[in-house]
Amino acid sequence: MRIAVIGGGPGGLYAAALLKRLDPARDITVWERGAPDDTFGFGVVLSDETLGGIEHADPVVFRALQAEFTRWDDIDVHFRGEVVTSGGHGFAALDRRRLLTILHQRCRDLGVELRLRETGPAAAELAATHDLVIAADGANSTTRAAHADVFRPRLTGHRCRYIWLGSDLPLNAFRFDIVETEYGVMQGHAYPYRDGASTFIVEMREEVWLRAGFDRLDEAESIARCEKLFAGCLDGHALHGNRSRWGAFTTVVNERWWHERTVLIGDAAHTAHFSIGSGTKLAMEDALALAACLQEQPDVPAALTAYETERRPVVESTQRAARASLEWFEQVGQYTGQPPLQFAFNLLTRSRRVTHDNLRLRDRGFTDAVERDFGTEPATPPMFTPFRLGGLTLRNRVVVSPMDMYSAVDGTPGDFHLVHLGARALGGAGLVMTEMVCVSPHGRITPGCAGLYTDEHETAWRRVTDFAHAQSSAAIGLQLGHSGRKGSTRLMWDGMDEPLPDGNWPLVAPSPLSYRPGVNQVPSELDAAGLAAVREEFTAAALRGARAGFDLLELHCAHGYLLSSFLSPLTNHRTDAYGGDLDGRLRYPLEVFDAVRAVWPRDRPMTVRISATDWAPGGTTEDDAVAVARAFAAHGADAIDVSTGQVVADERPQYGRSYQTPYADRIRNELGVPVITVGAISSWDDVNSLLLAGRTDLCALARPHLYDPNWTLHAAAEQNYSGPAAPWPQQYAAGSRRPPSGRTDAPKPRLTL
């Protein structure tokens, strides 16, 4: 088997060594245009998991690496004159040149041909004479570019500039330095890789970089200015370069990783921001997986299919975490008002991979200090810290998110709603929200949607609030909305967003644009009389809600319903005072908010749910979302409930754990407005982490409460909490401990001497 490797970085060299070790008969050649000791950067960080794989795959390489490692456990965050340390993390690093030397030697010992200082033939040419071509030619891969029609790469640029430097600064921890300069916030990422030598990466947003004049400086001048700006961090030690240039990180994603006999590995296939670890780590893991699949599968196509199937989910997970980390550093300026302990916790949990519980296992003293700083009582998880919203005090920070049940009859909630919402109130959440309750028959999404536009509706809702207040400690909130152009559709389980087969009612919207052209009906554009009539429907429903006993009212301005459609430029094409720029698009939702706020009791809070992005080009942006939140807060909103999307049918959301949280995070920390965050929050550990990091004030969970109505009570039991923020109903008190499992954990009988 003839194998060509394009690129002599760690990924390409390690792939060649492994493949030759597994089958010495293989003819393997590596082409690398650089010299043996040419390298970018200084130190390489590898995880214990990666090292375990290396040890198993090639003990010779592992032993050679092990002899070179610098190890440490702490992360130090230097912020505003204080140093916050978190321990128990476990890192290993070594000089990148030494890593290359070890891999060069291993390849030579095994009989791999190394053609250094030689640009190899193109992948297509090599594929004509080789059984396999491994493209390990980096983030600027010429192989990927030459076959872009097959690999279909997506290259995404980002907002920060960075430069990779070295230093003689002695370190015994991974260190983050946050420096507030006259130009803006800058950060240093530093770690040791051998005695007396450290990597020191300087990073900042591009506008800060421009204000500091780095665009006009050469390498030596940039280093001198960085030394001056980070003088307080360097303690008299120097920075030095290695052909160091300022760059902007690019995230590389490919739809396919292989074609015929050519396969991409490492940065050629995918990149992950350096703030969560080394690209070298991913490249070497790729090499290991590729070698294993070639050994296990009957032919090259089967092996490459297996390789991509195995590695893609791992890489995509890493890239999601890396993007969250990258974006955190892009927005670091919004956190500089946080106290040092909270700032450090926020930084450590930025990727959402490291959590409160995870950090507590590593360093209990650190998390205890963060919790005290947050204001938690002793032995109280953060999620069970009370929160005051307007005139309402919630026992804890858990919200049962609004969830449409499609089970009302002519808008009237029935026994199902009583049991459904009553069960969640008994389940311990601080606030239980109704589904979107519609302000008129024509404002319903489906015939099964609940309403609040008749006396019968008001009486029925009173049954629900009376039960919640009498039998639980939960507050109960009313979400009011109007379906707009997304109305007159079937029940979700009969076809979500599908028009009714008959009995349709007319729709209204800011502009005559159907939700799905050719499928959903075209709404009528609201005129002055229509706008006034809908506004009156909202105020009438709010008055009914107040009389029905709801503790909180939320105005639904998200998910493409009527008020949301006014806010998005994709759905509001009006040319009058209610369209055009954001101020115009905000005008009607604010008028409705003001009208509802005027009739809603002053001692009861009012919140607004928004879609912070449309997940579609030309739609609502993050900056728009901040402006929308600022406007509603100025008009008296007590909190902003930050959701995303569902505005247009062709959206492309970027799903992932807590994927909507960054939008709430920015609004909270930029505006100082209380927020409710939603979106794939599933564990109590996530809730505690988000709260302690200062990214939200309340966490709303939907599907977890469908799976387990007692989710909050069970979270308390699992954390050994039995305080006043999560009281078990007296009738359920006997079940407040987890039932014992079967006897599978009993001692096994002795069967041998």
pLDDT digit string, tens, across residues 401-420: 999 999 999 999 999 999 99
The residue ranges of DSSP E strands in 353-470, in sequence order, are: 387-389, 392-394, 398-400, 431-438
Strands 392-394 and 387-389: antiparallel
- Looking at residue 522, what is its pLDDT? 96
The Cα–Cα gap between 695 and 340 comes to: 15
The percent of residues above 70 in pLDDT, for the chain, comes to: 98
The tokens describing 148, both together, are 């872009």
Read off the pLDDT band of 735 (50, 70, 90).
confident
The Cα–Cα gap between 576 and 652 comes to: 30
- Say if CB 640 and CB 675 are below 8 A apart: yes
- Say if CB 87 and CB 362 are below 8 A apart: yes
Is residue 746 over pLDDT 60? no
Is residue 127 over pLDDT 90? yes
Q: What mean pLDDT is predicted for residues 331-345? A: 96
Sequence-distant contacts of 708-714: CB under 8 A, at least 24 apart: 708/427, 709/423, 709/424, 709/426, 709/427, 710/426, 710/427, 710/428, 711/398, 711/427, 711/428, 711/429, 712/396, 712/398, 712/427, 712/428, 712/429, 712/430, 713/427, 713/428, 714/738
The Cα–Cα gap between 428 and 214 comes to: 54
DSSP state of 90: -
The predicted-structure confidence for 433-483, as pLDDT tens digits, reads as follows 999 999 999 999 999 999 999 999 999 999 999 999 999 999 999 999 999
* Half-sphere exposure (Cβ direction) of 43: Cα atoms closer than 13 Å: 30
Helix axes 10-22, 279-296, angle to 10 degrees: 20
The predicted-structure confidence for 195-216, as pLDDT tens digits, reads as follows 899 999 999 999 999 999 999 9
Is residue 488 over pLDDT 60? yes
Helix axes 528-547, 582-599, angle to 10 degrees: 40
Q: What mean pLDDT is predicted for residues 55-75? A: 90
Is residue 81 over pLDDT 70? yes
- Looking at residue 45, what is its pLDDT? 87
The Cα–Cα gap between 28 and 19 comes to: 8
The predicted-structure confidence for 582-592, as pLDDT tens digits, reads as follows 999 999 999 99
Q: In which order are the strands placed within the sheet that holds 132-135?
A: 113-116, 27-32, 2-6, 132-135, 262-264, 258-259
Burial 12-33 (b: 16+ CB within 10 A, else e): bbbbbbbbbbeeeebebbbbbe
Answer yes or no: pTM beyond 0.85.
yes
Beta bridge partner(s), residue 740: none
Phi (first) and psi of residue 613, to 5 degrees: -150, 150
CA dihedral 86, 89, 94, 96 (to 10 degrees): -90
Is residue 745 over pLDDT 70? no
- Looking at residue 654, what is its pLDDT? 85
CA-CA distances (angstroms) from residue 378 to 93, 383, 689, 691? 38, 13, 17, 16
Sign for the pseudo-dihedral over CA of 101, 103, 108, 113: negative
Is residue 752 over pLDDT 90? no
- Looking at residue 361, what is its pLDDT? 95
Strands 675-677 and 639-643: parallel
The tokens describing 593, both together, are 């908010």
- Looking at residue 466, what is its pLDDT? 98
Is residue 743 over pLDDT 60? no
SS3 12: helix
- Say if CB 363 and CB 385 are below 8 A apart: no
Read off the pLDDT band of 370 (50, 70, 90).
very high
Is residue 656 over pLDDT 90? no
Neighbour-count burial of 120, counting CB atoms closer than 10 A to its CB (0-12 exposed, 13-18 middle, 19+ buried): buried
The tokens describing 696, both together, are 């939200």
The percent of residues above 90 in pLDDT, for the chain, comes to: 89
CA-CA distances (angstroms) from residue 98 to 25, 164, 330, 487, 554? 28, 18, 32, 65, 60
Q: Which of 722, 609, 617, 713 is nearest to 663 (CA)?
A: 609
Q: What mean pLDDT is predicted for residues 74-85? A: 96
DSSP state of 82: E
- Looking at residue 34, what is its pLDDT? 86
- Looking at residue 742, what is its pLDDT? 63
The residue ranges of DSSP E strands in 34-152, in sequence order, are: 43-46, 70-72, 74-79, 82-86, 91-95, 113-116, 132-135
More confident position, 181 or 276: 181
SS3 239: strand
Q: What mean pLDDT is predicted for residues 340-369? A: 95
Beta bridge partner(s), residue 400: 432, 701
Q: What mean pLDDT is predicted for residues 516-527? A: 95
- Looking at residue 57, what is its pLDDT? 85
Read off the pLDDT band of 740 (50, 70, 90).
confident
Lowest mean pLDDT among 48-57, 85-94, 307-316: 48-57
- Looking at residue 748, what is its pLDDT? 64
To the nearest whole number, what is the mean pLDDT of the chain?
94
Q: What mean pLDDT is predicted for residues 557-578? A: 97
Q: Which residues form the catalytic set?
A: 561
